[in-house]
Structure 1
Amino acid sequence: MHSKHFGSQNPSCQITIVHPTMEEFEDFRKYIVYMEWQGAHRAGLAKIIPPQDWKARKTYDDIDDILIAAPLQQVISGHAGVFTQHHKKKKATTMHEYRRLTNSETHQTPFYSDFEDLERKYWKTHPYVSPVHGADVSGSLFDENMKQWNTGHLGTIQDLLEQECGVVIKGINTPYLYFGMWKTTFAWHTEDMDLYSINYLHFGEPKTWYAVPLVHGRRLEHLAREPFPGSLRDCEAFLRHKVALTSPTVLKDNGIPFGRVTQEAGEFMVTFPYGYHSGFNHGFNCAEAINFASPRWIDYGKVVAFSMDAFVHILQLERYELWKRGQDRTVVDHTQPTEPSSQFLNAWREVRAPGGPAVRRRHCPSRSASHRHPPVATCHGTRCRAPVDPASPPPLTGPGFLLCCPVWGCGCLQLHGARPDSATDRRSICCGSPPTWTIRSSSSSSGRGDSGSDCPGPD
């Protein structure tokens, strides 16, 4: 295995960069386990450079007609390295029209000598000019016959969400495309439900990423409380709403460790559970992202407001009864990797193996079992188009789901008496903002509109 890491368990929490061989690249789940045993997860972020002969797609010359249904203009306010980011919806456009916009005088990338020079210009001019982000386009640009690291076919335990519950959540267990331009930004956040995410940069200009090591995530949360009091009043976990941004200088001045890395076209980035990350695009580009899960994520998932019944019953059977009674006191250890040869993986293989246990939905709430699939981008040959969804799926309801989030016009429904930083009950933490997870209750009805595409999925 060829990798750049810092000690067998990466005690310094630096961002790992790996160069798998073609043989190693065949098994996505196995390679994620390997990376964690190198300590990659401690940094919250890792970069994977695929084998030279591997290609996600033969050509990108035939995708100009992809529809970006709801571009988002990013409006930035703030100063002294502390900024707030809000979104304004723009009219639909095609990828071809969007590319023309990125090359306009207003939005084109300035001249720069190296990445450090461009980074300085980004932070110096951050509040000026509002870039437009072509975010949350349902679909994939991977060739259909591509088996390795295809975001639509990763084969991780997150597949249980669809297999056991019949639930498809766009951007979570189906891929999203993201079209970026100079200065389009993703603010500090962790992934919805503290899932993993994978981001592949198909083509175009690079993307700069920042990441705070998992063990310092709480310090970032506390740092953000003072400059964003309004957001804090609305939701104590407001960082998950992707609106707050602090510069590297502010992090340094407050003693918060962080890493930075540049992702170039043809490279993957993986974020790990509870890994805070942010970043910006250097110019016109196209990325594809999706969330995924591993057995190590299950204990993270137990403390967010989402039904974990199927995951715990199948993959942690020995702890299932304790968990049902609320007596599973397992504490999440950010430093521990996924076990490479454990009962988790054996159970998962049994579920996925032909002739294995029948897929049943008895471990899922009935509200989820009947949840109909939203449409995703359809591909005819090499042309992909994300259709307009005239009738969004009905929102999930019940005590296991949060109403999130006020920034996007929904509100954050917190459990009474529970503190987000509680060591015994973190269920009140806002677990993200996809509209398919929002609920409407008589006590929180405000007449506000649905969050729609203003609640982006993975970056």
Structure 2
Amino acid sequence: MSSHSSLDDVEPQKHPRIMTFRPSYEEFKNFSAYIDYIESRGAHLAGLAKIQPPAEWVARKSGYDIENINMTIPGPISQVVTGAHGFYQQINIQQRRQMTLRQFMEKANSELHQTPKHFDYDDLERKYWKNITYVSPLYAADIKGSLSDEDLDVWNIGRLDTILNLVNTDYNIIIDGVNTAYLYFGMWKSSFAWHTEDMDLYSINYLHFGAPKTWYAIPPAYGRRLEKLVNEAFKENYLECNAYLRHKMTMISPKVLRQHNIPYNKITQEAGEIMITFPFGYHAGFNHGFNGAESTNFASKRWIEYGKRSSVCKCRSDMVKISMATFVRRFQPERYENWLRGEDYGCHPEEPGKICAAMPPTLNEDELKQLLESPPEQKRGCSMAVTTDKTDNADNATEDADDKASISSSSSACLKKLVVKVRKLPPRDPEPAASHKKCDFNSTAVVRIKRLWNDLPNPKPGTNLLTNGIVKNTKRMRFQTKVLTLDDED
């Protein structure tokens, strides 16, 4: 499928198209310089660009024989889609049981999940939207790691040399999937909902192997139109969170976009191709079948103004929030003092003429300086040995160990996700109606989470950075998940 615009027949010159670049190896060597080059050609105006790497560049010399890739998927997500008439909500339920990559491949190629027969990519796209609510696919998303060779020095997704590295060098913080690589293994119909990157950063996605991906992208200049449409279509969600699209749950069909005069492009990414998303470029898409991709975020000086004015979801604990202090101080020193005072007036890059103040830092300068000089240690939930109190009975010990194992994280920076469990309670003697009380599950969950947090082994007390820290959350989760644990008999 070549690049396609929604408004090809109506003044196409006004709506930028997705561009494809085929650099030589010499042009390809300097990552940041090549990004600057494609932007000088106007690639960023479409919000998405494709790059076909030179033949000399090989990300993994040993190839992609699944038998030789020793990888375990901690828990793929089952994507349950509800809705109708082009408006859909995607709920991601994390599976409790881990899978090997081979097991995931076998499930992807099974009769239930295999790619349907189709004439071409357009025919497959029609089948996707027609059957989006049927047969929930699995998606192995947000897996920390890389398939690229360790000695790969050119365009190594795991260590791109851009100004986003300042988050690590200045704050000594690693944000999984933002300034490190994440892996994604998909199957037919597994999807990524409409979204822009955390803090409206750039992103890079390399499809290592397997079936293609179809991408939809909206030019950044029209991003507000999509937000308005979604906020009206899902008004209750918008009233609860004015950055609702950050939840990455919303699927809108191309037909609906056309009906509401929202220009978009679509393009197919083949194995061995790279996709670049640009600041405030809304994108979505789906996988054609079993495949494996690697992705991360990066930044440039052009991004800083986007980052200062990006929307922030405040209702979810797993949303990434990066302090812009180091970027403003280094690259916009003449605006730094005004920015600290909340008086940095200007326009969002995609809303010229609409003057407003950029969001000030969450910390004042003294607090920020103190944190930079001696960053507090965070209490960690990773690589811990699960221990139980010997005085507890066997049932409670098993339950506590299960809870600790579920809340542990592979991230060295923070807890991975809030785990909600559903258990079958043992039978109880009926109580008199007068003494019956309604159980507050939310309060119970809060108490349990606090207890688990306090039980995590750490030589020092630790400081919770989630309230006013430099980074609101250092573990990016592209998908909102809940773990549902039921007995086998259920």
Do both share a fold (TM > 0.5)?
Answer: yes
Q: Which amino acid aligns with 1:390?
A: S
- Corresponding residue for residue 140 of structure 1: 146
| 1:209 and 2:215 correspond | yes
Deviation at 1:227, TM superposition (A): 2.3
1:360-385, Cα deviation, whole Å (9 max, x unpaired): x9486578664589979xxxxxxxxx
Q: Which amino acid aligns with 1:84?
A: Q
Of 322-331 and 266-275, more deviation after overlay is shown by 322-331
| 1:333 and 2:349 correspond | yes
1:339-374, Cα deviation, whole Å (9 max, x unpaired): xxxxxxxxxxxxxxxxxxxxxx94865786645899
**Contact 2:142–2:477 at 8 Å: present in 1 too?**
no
Alignment of 1:219-230 (within 5 A): 219-230=225-236
After superposition, the Cα gap between the structure-2 partners of 1:373 and 1:164, relative to the gap in structure 1 and judged at 3 Å, is: farther
Percent identity over the alignment? 47
- Corresponding residue for residue 424 of structure 2: none
1:152-178, Cα deviation, whole Å (9 max, x unpaired): 121000000001100001111110000
Higher alpha-carbon Rg: 2
| 1:33 and 2:60 correspond | no
- Corresponding residue for residue 120 of structure 1: 126
**Contact 2:381–2:414 at 8 Å: present in 1 too?**
no
- Corresponding residue for residue 383 of structure 1: none
Structure 1 residue matching 2:141: 3-state secondary structure:
strand
2:339 to 311, 323, 338: 323
Deviation at 1:280, TM superposition (A): 0.1
Q: Which amino acid aligns with 1:54?
A: W
**Contact 1:309–1:363 at 8 Å: present in 2 too?**
no
Structure 2 residue matching 1:265: 3-state secondary structure:
coil
| 1:47 and 2:50 correspond | yes
After superposition, the Cα gap between the structure-2 partners of 1:29 and 1:227, relative to the gap in structure 1 and judged at 3 Å, is: same
Structure 1 residue matching 2:125: 3-state secondary structure:
helix
**Contact 2:177–2:476 at 8 Å: present in 1 too?**
no
Deviation at 1:306, TM superposition (A): 3.3
Structure 2 residue matching 1:289: 3-state secondary structure:
strand
Alpha-carbon distance in structure 2 between the residues aligned to 1:451 and 1:28: 24
Alpha-carbon distance in structure 2 between the residues aligned to 1:200 and 1:371: 32
- Corresponding residue for residue 304 of structure 2: 298
More helix by percentage: 2
**Contact 1:70–1:453 at 8 Å: present in 2 too?**
no
- Corresponding residue for residue 348 of structure 1: none
Q: Which amino acid aligns with 1:133?
A: Y
Q: How many residues align?
A: 374
- Corresponding residue for residue 165 of structure 1: 171
2:237 to 221, 231, 239: 231
After superposition, the Cα gap between the structure-2 partners of 1:389 and 1:264, relative to the gap in structure 1 and judged at 3 Å, is: farther
Structure 2 residue matching 1:152: 3-state secondary structure:
helix
1:109 to 115, 130, 134: 115
**Contact 1:167–1:372 at 8 Å: present in 2 too?**
no
Q: Which amino acid aligns with 1:183?
A: K
- Corresponding residue for residue 68 of structure 1: 73
Alpha-carbon distance in structure 1 between the residues aligned to 2:19 and 2:238: 33
Q: Which amino acid aligns with 1:189?
A: H
After superposition, the Cα gap between the structure-2 partners of 1:318 and 1:452, relative to the gap in structure 1 and judged at 3 Å, is: closer
1:390 to 408, 414, 417: 408
Deviation at 1:395, TM superposition (A): 5.2
1:224-271, Cα deviation, whole Å (9 max, x unpaired): 123212321221111111111111001011111000010000001011
Alpha-carbon distance in structure 1 between the residues aligned to 2:78 and 2:239: 25
**Contact 1:310–1:364 at 8 Å: present in 2 too?**
no
Alpha-carbon distance in structure 2 between the residues aligned to 1:297 and 1:335: 15
Q: Which amino acid aligns with 1:73?
A: S
| 1:56 and 2:52 correspond | no
Structure 2 residue matching 1:330: 3-state secondary structure:
strand
- Corresponding residue for residue 446 of structure 2: none
After superposition, the Cα gap between the structure-2 partners of 1:289 and 1:438, relative to the gap in structure 1 and judged at 3 Å, is: farther
Question: Normalising by structure 1, what TM-score?
Answer: 0.74
| 1:86 and 2:91 correspond | yes
After superposition, the Cα gap between the structure-2 partners of 1:194 and 1:269, relative to the gap in structure 1 and judged at 3 Å, is: same
1:44-75, Cα deviation, whole Å (9 max, x unpaired): 11111101221110112254430110210000
Alpha-carbon distance in structure 1 between the residues aligned to 2:329 and 2:377: 20
| 1:129 and 2:135 correspond | yes
> Unaligned regions of 5+ residues in structure 2, if any?
311-320, 353-367, 384-404, 419-440, 443-463, 469-474, 482-490
Alpha-carbon distance in structure 2 between the residues aligned to 1:363 and 1:251: 48
Alpha-carbon distance in structure 1 between the residues aligned to 2:351 and 2:39: 9
- Corresponding residue for residue 398 of structure 2: none
- Corresponding residue for residue 433 of structure 2: none
Alpha-carbon distance in structure 1 between the residues aligned to 2:170 and 2:270: 37
